[in-house]
Amino acid sequence: MRHPMTKEHSVSFLLAVSDRGTQFVKLYPEGNAEARFKIDRVKALYACCSRHGLFVWERL
């Protein structure tokens, strides 16, 4: 996923959800909109954009 990471428009966090738990990664403006998760079998990924709100990607 590519996303702007400026002070005015950025992703503030990513949250991965699996059957085995969750993992939260805080992101910062002017950094990269990327993360590596230590959990497997991710079923959903949540991202919060400062301009557009909460996004959810679900794996069915």
Domains of the chain: which residue ranges?
1-35
The type of residue at 29 is: P
Concatenating the DSSP letter of every residue in 1-60 gives: -----SSSS-EEEEEEEETTEEEEEE--TTS-S----S-SSEEEEEEEETTTEEEEEE--
Q: In the predicted model, is pLDDT for residue 1 greater than 90?
A: no
- For the stretch 7-60, pLDDT in tens is 999 999 999 999 999 999 999 999 998 999 999 999 999 999 999 999 999 986
Rounded distance between C-alpha atoms, residue 28 and residue 35, angstroms: 12
